[in-house]
Structure 1
């Protein structure tokens, strides 16, 4: 891996000035069947088009790098995966040798069902070990997996089937959520009736606690339904196939603001090199360490940091079926950390805010020993300073806010603990990660030189290894979505600024910047102010329609558990806080107090949907929503809202 210099600034500068030598050295952390002839295969034209490629000429297998090489190195008995289900009480540990055996067998089962290199396989599974097995089995034989969040609506699953054209779907009888069971098989069956008919085979992993099996859907028809256990038992283990660096590893769909979701394509070589490098240099995690990304395999965090990165690094990864609260209480995360001696925990700020709301005094935390934690990493949405301080005070370990996207696959900005632990600044994602040349641009693509002034966050091309190859089946969509706004740059769609020390502050999506009577205001800065109030657990600020000013800022807040403050008093105090910290220019006077904010299953606040409801616009219930009933409560609260507070 990268040797001296080990200071962050020198390491980052080298990655920008000499990407060829920098990433060639990083590639030594991966086992290649055929070494790459070059690290960066690029021309000015390919860089501008976003088609520069990493590690051309190299051949490898991601499954081999995640499993076989560790077994061959004598670490087959080390725990590779810990499965902990708070829903069923099931706890299972698999060694690297055991996980390799299961992956090789299921890869053989896929191969026996006609799956080979380049074929697509949709994985529609809950948070169970078979999700990891299925992903690595696809990687082993060169199939391209597309994981769809378990329980997604049949219509959304059908859209992904029609775009990816898979020959096989791997699924389960269902998933478990607090208070309910989600049966998957009827959803898969309906999706097949809605789609164009590419699927030949459905392989079903039965769960004892959930009704439904492959036998229930077998019979006449073009699609054959098979039992996972029978297929795995009968299969001959498959050896890893040699794949070109640029061969696709997976497709992961990300929702756009309009139209169908975009299928983000990830390669094998760049992905493996970047993730292996990130584990030691960003997270300071090494072989034998216990790493837990409390996410879902259906999201990019699950792909990168539940499955691939920890196993590429030879670490132990935790797959958890449960929630931060309610399974059974706000001590759920701390129990897992205590029980498995987790060293690095990676989750979303919304999970920590949920725990803080229910247990602001750390009463549940006191029941567990979390001294094994060396760091808490947070990403997925903006980390407000109040939540940062709360977690930092309670856990007594570095709290790292870092920023990345589905498209990049790993961190764009972070505190690189494995290179140099930098001082933290609440509200900042710290500094650009080596490989990322970040610039702040104005609306015309000109650099914003003023320190602290918000602009469009853009990344100078080429993107580093591990970033998207493109959009599945649409070069035009790739260019229009990411490259056309600022030629020569990848447009992140986020706004923010650098401070005088080069720290990056990501303030929100560019469409979250609101214009109040000609004054541009960041919703992120307004949210920071609202969370200063001791009664507020979390909040969202967005711009809603105003006949006079064009837009006005409206705040939506939830309260900490047990908080009994009078709502009118709270609204007045919040308005005064904004006036004090931002000024009268914000013209902030709308406050709605809610039991819960509408969120996706990955914890992101559904700002667009909130805005549509407030403005009385037509809307559809997002397929990613965690609980649709929250929207009913929001509509009632908006219609019953008290008159605006006069600052």
Structure 2
């Protein structure tokens, strides 16, 4: 077996590890990092503690390749162990299993194809693909070459792809002919073709055959993977990377209209993804682990792909959706593959709660031993349903809090080791020093307190920059409260020191566990020719956690006829879907004649949130507004 990684097994060991990680962080993380395969060891463990410039380094001076740690080092002892199980969208279709040796060979073959097409270290490669094995293989192949991968969720629009490709100046795109999503089939290559009409940096498009559809292939630019992979070697020497070389860019929404490219680097990300995966889920050698996230999101990066493979675990990848062909699909897959660790989103749990209970009770689920939730805080009703009906009252639940920018889990129970309490994420991971701040930036001491959640001191997975615009990273995360990483979340620390996340304190909406800046959605709405101005807020949603509520001012005022109102609302939704994708479509649209603004022109979102939430009897002071009467009109319009 590869060298042993430190693992926490008891509550006492957690407290000791946490103490050491805070008091002697360099020694602690050097010990954690030691068992990995390094071409050259580091000169310093960490540097650049949080400053207004927002710079951090980890394992500086080290040389490595992350795929040697995901694949090569497992071959001697785990070569014949299952690395990846793929379950297709259609349960009648055959699933696929790849051992570590087979996955290694497929990654090397894909790397050779990319290399032959001209992909080199430092190039940016955009992936827009279905949840199929070639997506996982392509991501690892990019990392093996030293190319920077940027996966775009295959539900975003052509405009959203173009924005991301152009921001990263990607020279290469990897896609497929089409994808399955429940009962639907989506022509992803056609979406990519539309996007690339405005992407001059792209030189080559590599297309994986999945549905067998005929697609347009642009001569000189587009090539089929199966043609390029003929007679290609299944070995490829991994590129030597510096610790702080970028591994990937992942675009996330923020407080401005333009998505920001979060950059994670090689060594720190590797150590953090592995350490958190092993300890939070308490993974054993024979576990079958299933994270239901798409690789297009950070959860898919860290806990479907990199974390499990770094730990030598068996990871399951699912092409479909939880309700197809019926609401028992998740539970059928768990029984079919003897899944022992299951990690999903509260949105999925709430949607399955709404289905008849027989969908769960028809399956034994006796292979399960750990349950996890991710993306947003899980509400108490969903927690108890999950614990009782899925975990049969015997599986610990880890309710994990983290962000795209943190690379991995920051606050969570460790399964069966540290306390798990409904609606609470729990205690911080070793190396994570959460603090609660007042709005002015003063630390709030003691338990049973509430404030802005920030992190004091760097950890290996911290965001390094935003691609092409470091100032944006500094302004967003490190300048609001100098000396801290600002999460943008509010939190409560209970009487026992357990943390509960209580929502965003900035203009970001968490829809089904995915964050969207209100400005990005407003920019999309404002592209509609009927619209003059818009304001977007989040409101409580039974399934999604938060829904999107849009207030819209039209060129021609508020329409009198209901049919005209419906036509314009449909047009606005169509515009948002075209600009961003279906995942960002507004749940409610209210056409208004004006917005509540201060005399300086600032929109009072506090008022709009209260109206959206139905708290119209508690609007608060409106006398400072430019036109207080507009609030009454909005309240009456909602009613």
> Is the contact between residue 129 and residue 153 of structure 2 (CA under 8 Å) also seen in structure 1?
yes
CA distance in 1, matches of 2:251, 2:318: 22
Cα distance in 1 for residues equivalent to 2:538 and 2:36: 50
Q: Report the counterpart of residue 482 of structure 1 in structure 2.
A: 477
1:116-127 mapped onto 2 (5 Å cutoff) = 116-127=120-131
Q: In the superposition, relative to structure 1, how do residues 230 and 290 fare at CA in structure 2: closer, same or farther (>3 Å)?
A: same
The residue correspondences of 1:459-478 to structure 2 (distance < 5 A) are: 459-462=455-458, 464-478=459-473
Aligned to 1:367: 362
CA distance in 2, matches of 1:161, 1:629: 22
Which structure has the higher relative contact order (CA within 8 Å, separation 6+)?
Answer: 2
- Contact persistence 2:156–2:582 (CA under 8 A): no
State the alpha-carbon separation in 2 of the partners of residues 630 and 611 from structure 1.
Answer: 6
Q: Distance in 2 between matches of 1:554 and 1:53?
A: 36
Deviation track 1:540-575 (CA, whole Å, cap 9, x = no partner) reads: xx9xxxxxxxx9x997555xxxxxxxxxxxxxxxxx
Match of 1:612 among 551, 557, 561: 551
Q: Decide whether the 8 Å contact of 1:79 with 1:96 is kept in 2.
A: yes
> In the alignment, which residue of structure 2 is the partner of 1:86?
89
Alignment of 1:346 with 2:343, yes or no, is: yes
Aligned-residue RMSD, C-alpha: 3.1
3-state DSSP class of the match of 1:29? coil
Greater shift, 47-56 or 244-253, is seen at 47-56
For the pair 1:28 / 2:34, whether they are aligned, the reply is yes
Q: What's 2:258 paired with? A: 260
> 1 CA distance for matches of 2:541 and 2:244?
46
Deviation at 1:311, TM superposition (A): 0.6
Partner residue in 2 for 1:77: 80
Does the C-alpha gap of structure 1 residues 381 and 629 become closer, same or farther in structure 2, counting only changes over 3 Å? Answer: closer
Match of 2:513 in 1: none
- Alpha-carbon distance, 1:646 to partner: 8.6
Q: TM-score scaled to structure 2, two decimals?
A: 0.80
Q: Provide the rounded CA distance (Å) in 2 between the counterparts of 1:218 and 1:555.
A: 44
Gaps of 5+ in 2: 511-517, 519-534, 559-568, 592-608, 619-639
Partner of residue 108 from structure 1, selected from 109, 112, 116: 112
Residue number among 362, 377, 380 corresponding to 1:385 in the alignment? 380
Q: Counterpart of 2:289?
A: 291
Q: Quick check: 2:539–2:546 contact (8 Å CA) kept in 1?
A: no
Structure 1 residues 254, 285: CA separation in 2 closer, same or farther (over 3 Å shift)?
same
Contact 1:286 1:314 in 2 (8 A): no
Equivalent residue pairs, number? 548
Distance in structure 1 (CA, Å) of the matches to 2:304 and 2:481? 33
Q: Which runs of 5+ in 1 are unaligned?
A: 514-522, 525-541, 543-550, 559-596
The separation in 1 between residues aligned to 2:373 and 2:504, in whole angstroms, is 18
Q: Does 1:19 align with 2:25?
A: yes
- Inter-partner Cα distance in structure 2 for 1:77 and 1:625: 40
The answer on whether the counterparts of 2:277 and 2:307 sit within 8 Å (CA) in structure 1 is yes
**For 1:57, which of 47, 51, 61 is the aligned residue?**
61
Question: 2:179 aligned with 1:175, yes or no?
Answer: yes
Deviation at 1:259, TM superposition (A): 2.4
| Residue 8 (structure 1) shift | 2.0
- 1:311 matched to 2:314: no
Within 5 Å, which residues of 2 pair with 1:592-611? 605-606=546-547, 609-611=548-550
Equivalences for 1:453-464 in 2 at 5 Å? 453-462=449-458, 464=459
In 1, the alpha carbon distance for the partners of 2:129 and 2:590 equals 31
Matched residue, 1:199: 202
* Residue matched to 2:576: 621
The answer to whether 1:226 aligns with 2:223 is: yes
Q: How far has the Cα of 1:421 moved from its partner?
A: 1.4
Q: Deviations over 1:40-75 (max 9, x none)?
A: 134x6x65533221111111111111111111x232
Shift of 1:251: 0.5
Report SS of the residue matched to 2:83: strand
Match of 1:426 in 2: 422
CA contact 1:206–1:212 (8 Å) conserved in 2: no
User: In structure 2, how many angstroms separate the alpha carbons of the residues matched to 1:122 and 1:328?
Assistant: 31
Structure 1 residue 133 and structure 2 residue 88: aligned?
no
Q: Give the 3-state SS of the residue equivalent to 2:317 in structure 1.
A: strand
Specify the alignment match of 1:510 in structure 2: 505
- What is the DSSP-based 3-state SS (H/G/I as helix, E as strand, rest coil) of the residue aligned with 1:259? coil
1:375 and 1:614, CA in 2 relative to 1: closer, same or farther beyond 3 A? farther
